[in-house]
Amino acid sequence: MHLLSGLKLRGRLTLWVCLLLVAALTPVLGTAVHIIRKTVELQVQGVLQVEAQGLRDLVESSLRERETNARAWTEDAILRGALLFGTYAKSDAVLATLNDRHASFAGLVLFTLDGRAVSVSRPGLRDAFAGHERDVLAAPWFQAALKDTLDPATLTGALTRTDPFFARPVMPLALPVLSPISGEQVGVLLAAYDWGQLNQVVEGALQRSRDRGQRSFTLDILGPDGARLYSSRAPGQAPPAKAVQAQASSDTTRFAAGQGWRFVAELDADEAFLPLKRFLQISLLAAVALLVLAALAAWALARSVTRPITTLSALVSHVVREGDLTQKVTLRDQQDEVGELAAAFARMMDHLRESTTSLQQGTRVLGQTVEELTTATQQQERNLIQQGTALQETQVTAQEIQQTSQLAATRSQAVLGLVAKAREVGSAGETTLGASLAGFEELRDHGLRLAKDISSLNERTSQIASITQTVKDLADQSNMLALNAAIEAVRSGEHGQGFGVVAREIRNLADQSINATGRVREVLDDIRGGIQATVELSEEGQRRSEAGLTQVRATTESLRALTDIIQDNASAAQQIAAAVIQQNAGIAQIFTAVTDLSRMMDETLQAMHGTQRMTQSLRGVAERMETVAGVWRVQ
């Protein structure tokens, strides 16, 4: 208060306006920062949760697909035949072809039940497993394969260390190979999934984070015991000191062997909340700029208010100092309290001149004039007090309306951000469904081609069966001819003994041909049964593809309708936000005008008090006017 008392009226007005502006902006900015921070935290947590769930879906779907591939390969006729008949040249070629088509496997190895690696997809694997039959038999994955299970503990433990045979971390998908005739186990197929290929699976999610400018974004896979099975963080890169993360648990319906896995998406907290820090910096600069502008405006307003008062003060000083009542007041054109004060002062000057002129006629007229002036001043004071009270109430109400309007404007901006996010998500969903529809159509075409190829294979199998029957008939005829030749050789006596030996050999060869054609017929029957089952599965897959394609089309139409609704909502939200911002600006102008009017009312009341004091002084000096009348100059 001592500092304010040392300032002039212009300085006090400017300082009070600045203090009021700071008091008004502080709660508004605090509320806005709190709301924006909560919104940013929810958005960051939501994005990380989506990425963690996406990582889980990608990894589990990929591993489930690999498991399905491995199970299909165990039913391959060539691999089964290699284990049954001990011929591995063709099985090596089959495994090599399968490994080339599925590069995500580090290698494919076919074992016998005694742990021998009899067929491999890469030549180096045969040497790696040579002489390690005991290690293979004792391996947990081999024991699990004999039980026809995928042990989660075995797979998880294998991912945390380098496999000695493949020289890299692999997931051993080991499955039994069954005989097509007896259904008994005849061997084990090991499909070693290369765990390092997981980088290609998660590359899409990492690229999305880089596009958003999030360089510290990482994806991790943790085992049931908390061991880190996979991390997208570069080797040697230290984790952030303070991070924001989200987790997703494994879904055993996709990949049962991944039970207990946790998929973690992590982001550096400083990088996640960098937009909030930038907003705070911009808000602070804007607040400082607004305070400076308010100080300049308050100074200009105070100057406009105090300039007329200064002019009147100089005029009074001149009148008192010189005794010159001929001075004219030039502020009568102002239509405010200062103008009223100037008019009252001008009337006072007129009264003084009239009083001085008629002072010789009597001091009674001067006393009456002073009484009238006092009464008028008191009445004006009462009016001003009533007006000041009404203005204060109006100012409080306008301030409350201004705070409510500013809060509505802030929330409308937040709604605009959410609407823009919904618009982006809708567009992305429509694009993704379009790609899914194209994939379903391509899958349907592929199923049709596969059905045609399987039908052609069935026809050729039938042709082979016919040829086998012909070979059997020829063998039966050869057997009959050999029997007739043996009878003729017996009739010929000693001359026919050599011919009898030849007849027996031909008969033995004919018996072997009959037995071989019988085995070939059994194998062909098994192949024909497998082909028929494949045809049925292909037809079922075709029907399901058509059903899925119909559902995807219906979903695409629904998403397009939802996108149109989001667009309409976005336009409506933008119009509402524009209206709220315009209303906020108008309320701010009303509040400023009411504040200025209240301030001016207080100043006028103070000036009125001064006028009252002057009238009281005039009452006291009325009796001396006669003696001092000669001092004043009225002409």
Give the pLDDT mean for 216-241: 78
Distance CA 545, CA 443 (A): 7
* Model confidence at 186: pLDDT above 60: yes
Q: How far apart are CA 390 and CA 51, in angstroms?
A: 60
25 domain residue, yes or no = no
**93 strand-pairing partners:** none
What is the H or E stretch that residue 107 is in?
strand 105-111
- Percent pLDDT > 70 in the chain is 75
Q: How far apart are CA 232 and CA 199, in angstroms?
A: 7
pLDDT digit string (tens) for 548-600? Answer: 667 767 777 766 776 777 677 667 667 766 766 776 677 777 767 767 767 77
Confidence band of 188 (pLDDT split at 50, 70, 90): very high
pLDDT category at 119 given cuts 50, 70, 90 is: very high
Does 497 or 290 have the greater pLDDT score?
290
User: pLDDT of 239-280, one tens digit each?
Assistant: 777 878 888 887 666 676 667 788 888 887 777 777 767 777
pLDDT digits 0-9 by tens, 344-388: 777 777 777 776 666 656 566 666 676 776 777 777 777 767 777
User: Does the structure show a pLDDT above 60 at 332?
Assistant: no
Residue 489 forms part of a structural domain = yes
Which residue, 410, 409, 427, 513, is CA-closest to 470? 513
Highest mean pLDDT among 27-31, 188-192, 284-288, 397-401 belongs to: 188-192
Position 509 in a domain: yes
Q: Which of 233, 256, 271 is the last residue of a domain?
A: 271
Say what the pLDDT of residue 459 is.
Answer: 75
Q: Report the pLDDT averaged over residues 62-91.
A: 87
Residue 110 in this model has a pLDDT that exceeds 90: yes
- Round to whole Å and give the CA distance between 92 and 437: 38
pLDDT at residue 634 is higher than 70 = no
53 close to 219: Cβ distance less than 8 angstroms: no
Chain mean pLDDT for the chain? 75
| Residue 28 forms part of a structural domain | no
Q: Are residues 431 and 567 in the same domain?
A: yes
d(CA 231, CA 234) in angstroms, rounded, equals 8
Assess whether 259 and 380 both reside in one domain: no
pLDDT at site 35: 82
User: How far apart, in whole angstroms, are the C-alpha atoms of residue 119 and residue 112?
Assistant: 9
What percent of the chain clears pLDDT 90, i.e. is strictly above it?
5
Indicate whether 397 and 266 sit together in one domain: no
Query: For residue 244, what are its two tokens?
Result: 């924001």
In the prediction, which pLDDT does 202 show?
A: 78
Asked if 573 contacts 416 with a C-beta cutoff of 8 angstroms, the reply is yes
Distance of alpha carbon 620 from alpha carbon 136, whole angstroms:
125
User: Residue 598, Cα to own-chain centre: how many angstroms?
Assistant: 50
Domain with 510 in it: 364-630
- The answer to which of 15-29, 48-62, 123-137, 436-450 has the lowest mean pLDDT is 436-450
* Closest C-alpha among 262, 211, 234 to residue 56: 262
62-71, 110-119, 172-181, 219-228, range with the lowest pLDDT: 219-228
Q: Report pLDDT for 22.
A: 73
Per-residue DSSP letter, 7: S
Answer yes or no: do 267 and 368 share one domain: no
Q: For residue 430, name the pLDDT band (cuts at 50, 70, 90).
A: low
pTM of the model: 0.43
Q: Across the beta sheet with 170-178, what order do the strands follow?
A: 117-120, 105-111, 185-194, 170-178
CA nearest 80: which of 175, 180, 149? 180
pLDDT at 521: 75
Same domain, 391 and 248: no
Same domain for 394 and 255, yes or no, is no
396 plus 266 within the same structural domain:
no
Residue 439 has a pLDDT of: 67
Specify the CATH number for the domain of residue 152: 3.30.450.220
What confidence score (pLDDT) does residue 108 get? 93
Q: Given pLDDT bands bounded at 50, 70 and 90, which one contains residue 112?
A: very high
Q: Which of 337, 335, 348 is nearest to 309 (CA)?
A: 337
Q: Is residue 556 part of a domain?
A: yes
Q: Would you call 116 helix, strand, or coil by DSSP?
A: coil
Other residues' Cβ atoms within 10 Å of the Cβ of residue 380: 18
Q: Would you say residue 80 lies in a domain?
A: yes
483 domain-assigned:
yes
Q: Return the CATH number at 466.
A: 1.10.287.950
Q: Sign (positive/negative) of CA torsion 530, 533, 538, 539?
A: positive
DSSP character string of 31-63: HHHHHHHHHHHHHHHHHHHHHHHHHHHHHHHHH
- What is the maximum span of the chain, computed from C-alpha positions, in angstroms? 194
Find the mean pLDDT for residues 398-411.
70
Residue 152 is assigned to a structural domain of this protein: yes
Question: Looking up tokens 């943790």, which residue turns up?
Answer: 222
* Number of compact structural domains in the chain: 2
402 and 264 part of one domain = no
Residues 184, 178: contact at Cβ < 8 Å? yes
In this structure, the answer to whether residues 259 and 375 fall within a common structural domain is: no
- Average pLDDT (176-185) is 88
Tell me what the mean pLDDT of segment 57-78 comes to.
Answer: 87
The domain boundary, picked from 220, 240, 271, lies at 271
Residue type at position 572: A
Residue 545 above 70 pLDDT? Answer: no
Looking at 271, 302, 327, the residue that finishes a domain is 271
